[in-house]
Amino acid sequence: MNNAVSGFSKLSKEDKINWIASTYFSYPEHAIATIKQYWNSDSKLQQLHDEFIENTITNFYLPMGVAPNFLVNEKYFSIPMVIEESSVVAAAAKSAKYWSSRGGFKASVLSSEKIGQVHFIYKGDVKKLEDFFQKIKPKFFEATESITKNMQKRGGGILDITLQNKTQELANYFQLHVTFETKDSMGANFINSCLEQLAKTLKAEAQVTSFFTEEEKNLQVVMSILSNYVPNCIVRAEVSCKVEELAEKNIENPQEFAEKFVQAVAIAEIEPYRAVTHNKGIMNGVDAVVLATGNDFRAVEAGVHAYASRNGKYSSLSHAKIENGIFTFWMEIPLALGTVGGLTSLHPLVKMALEILGKPSSHELMQLVAVTGLAQNFAALRSLTTTGIQEGHMKMHLNNILNQFQATKEERIAIAKYFENNTVSHASVVELIENLRK
């Protein structure tokens, strides 16, 4: 069947939906009803959502929850989280409450430098290119002044521009490596606008430089783009307490728990297969807050996982130790986040999330996102090294299974009672539902 369509983006929203429904569904009316079921009744709000992306047909809902009792740098926060995985918010809240009576989380921004690059091909004398760069470097700052002046007023702008010779890795390949400070803005558009102007200036100045040959004058700009790898935009999050203070219901022997916990982290530090899942748990917390606050979780994911591989082998983002009777668990991760611009000023729930967090600066948001990731990691490792991960996860997942089978109130009561003393699995829940309905 040929499902190609011409001029889809030019169709009205209604026509797009009708085409989707009639092309892919046996019962188009049912498909249309499902799509429209998720429209917002407020037409202005719906239009706002429609204009976030191209070819919008409906809204795709994810739950927004809150994890309270996060004590961060001696101040309490409730952390908004957007995620579909059932146990994540509960785990974060549990960790937050646990550490709130043990000194809470400590967080600090170590650096906030962002990076962009102009990638270009130059076939000629490298020494001449280096001399040319030093001569015209001030002109790069002059050419971007109209773009950077407002950012400079806020204490940001272009920090430095360097010429990078990459010819040993790729023939004739060079780059302008540019560092930025974008303050409370994530700064993607700002950085890319600066880079494109730098590229224009580079080409224009090369054309009028007398000591270049004709071939050298025609250097080729391949692309100008920010990098989502931000190894100098780092935030640190940490928890610590005396080993004996780790004791609680499922931690009767705190020394044994602490040693096992440190060992579990050490395994993630040296074993990539474990490290990927270990770090995925951290990102459960990180991504949920990044989404709730209207930031780019794909950029964050890409940058974080690159950072986890910075030493040539994929490794744990978090670390743990026992020293002089003190248990310490910490991590340092790259986070390029913003609290102004983009969705932060458009999406009503993003604005609400930032309000819940006390209208944080970008540095404060970096800290809150990092501690949520660390809390999530602690919750996972505590479960793994004590009761096992599935007990808590499957109890949370139970509700999803019951919804899938449209369980009645009476069935839910009977099923919940049964699993008070039995292990939850998908198969066991289905079997119990079938037995109840016989």
Task: Verify whether residue 280 is a known catalytic residue.
Answer: yes
Q: What is the pLDDT of residues 372-387, one digit of tens each?
A: 999 999 999 999 999 7
pLDDT tens by residue, 68-97: 999 999 999 999 999 999 889 999 999 999
- Domain count within the chain: 4
Report if residue 329 sits inside a domain. Answer: yes
| Residue 30 domain boundaries | 8-50
Q: Which of 226, 259, 290 is the last residue of a domain?
A: 226
Does position 395 have pLDDT exceeding 70, yes or no? Answer: no
| Residue 388 pLDDT grade (very low, low, confident, very high; cuts 50, 70, 90) | low
Give Cα separations from 116 to 158, 254, 336, 370, 395 (angstroms).
10, 47, 13, 24, 46
Catalytic pick among 280, 321, 363, 395? 280
151 and 215 both lie in a single domain: yes
Please state, in angstroms and rounded to a whole number, the distance separating the CA atoms of residues 391 and 358.
35
pLDDT at 165: 98
DSSP state letters, 84-117 = --TTHHHHHHHHHHHHHTTT-BEEEE----EEEE
For the chain, the straight-line distance linking the first and the last C-alpha, in angstroms and rounded, comes to 43
Is 2 a domain residue? Answer: no
CA 194 to CA 116: how far, in whole Å? 9
Token pair in block for residue 432: 């119990």
DSSP β-bridge partners for residue 70? 77
Set 196, 205, 296, 364: catalytic member: 296
Catalytic residue flag (residue 363): no
| Residues 290 and 360 grouped into a single domain | yes
Give residues with Cβ within 8 angstroms of 4, minimum separation 6: none
- Residues 219, 159 within the same domain: yes
Per-residue HEC secondary structure of 268-321 comes to: HHHCHHHHHHHHHHHHHHHHHHHHHCCCCHHHHHHHHHHHHCCCCCCCCCEEEE
**Domain match, 170 and 255 both:** no
Which residue would you say has higher pLDDT here, 418 or 270? 270
Query: At which of 191, 209, 226 does a domain end?
Result: 226
Pair 178, 242 in one domain: no
Burial (Cβ within 10 Å: 0-12, 13-18, ≥19) of residue 191: buried
Q: Are residues 202 and 292 in the same domain?
A: no
Contact of 381 with 259, CB cutoff 8 Å: no
From the list 85, 125, 271, 411, the catalytic residue is: 85
Assess whether 145 and 218 both reside in one domain: yes
- Cβ neighbours for 159, distance < 8 A, ≥ 6 positions apart: 113, 179, 180, 181
- If asked whether residues 248 and 370 sit together in one domain, one would say yes
Same domain for 320 and 182, yes or no, is no
Q: How far apart are CA 67 and CA 81, in angstroms?
A: 7
Residue 310 phi, psi dihedral angles, 5° rounding: -65, -20
Q: Which of 387, 407, 426 is the last residue of a domain?
A: 387
Spatial contact of 172 and 123, defined as CB atoms under 8 Å apart: yes
- Residue 12 CB: number of other CB atoms within 10 A? 8
The pLDDT assigned to 390 comes to: 55
Evaluate whether residue 59 is within a structural domain. no
Integer Cα distance of 364 and 337 in angstroms: 10
Supply the pLDDT for residue 392: 56
d(CA 282, CA 346): 28
| The pLDDT value given to residue 394 | 63
Domain-embedded: residue 307: yes
Distance CA 342, CA 351 (A): 11
The mean pLDDT value for 141-163 works out to 97
d(CA 250, CA 247): 8
Instruction: Tell whether 400 is covered by a domain.
Output: yes
The question of whether 84 is a catalytic residue gets the answer no
CATH number assigned to the domain comprising residue 308: 3.90.770.10
Instruction: Determine the 3-state secondary structure of 83 from DSSP.
Output: coil
Residue 333 belongs to a domain: yes
Return the pLDDT at 376: 98
When the pLDDT of each residue in the chain is averaged and rounded to a whole number, the result is 94
Q: Please indicate, yes or no, whether residues 263 and 402 belong to a single structural domain of this protein.
A: no
**Which position among 16, 183, 393, 397 bears the catalytic label?**
393
Q: Under DSSP, is residue 387 helix (H, G, I), strand (E, B) or coil?
A: coil
Q: Which pTM was predicted? A: 0.88
d(CA 173, CA 90): 50
DSSP 3-state assignment of 1? coil
Would residue 92 count as lying in a domain?
A: yes
**Lowest-pLDDT range, 231-235, 286-290, 416-420?**
416-420
Residue length of the chain: 438
388 CB neighbour count, 10 Å cutoff: 11
* 381 and 431 housed in the same domain: no
Residue at 302 is within a domain? yes
Indicate if 105 and 251 belong to the same structural domain.
Answer: yes
Residue 345, pLDDT score: 85
pLDDT of residue 213 exceeding 90: yes
C-alpha span between 171 and 122 (Å, rounded): 9
**pLDDT digits 0-9 by tens, 296-313:** 999 999 999 999 999 999
User: Residue 393 catalytic?
Assistant: yes
Interatomic CA distance for residues 209 and 219, integer angstroms: 12
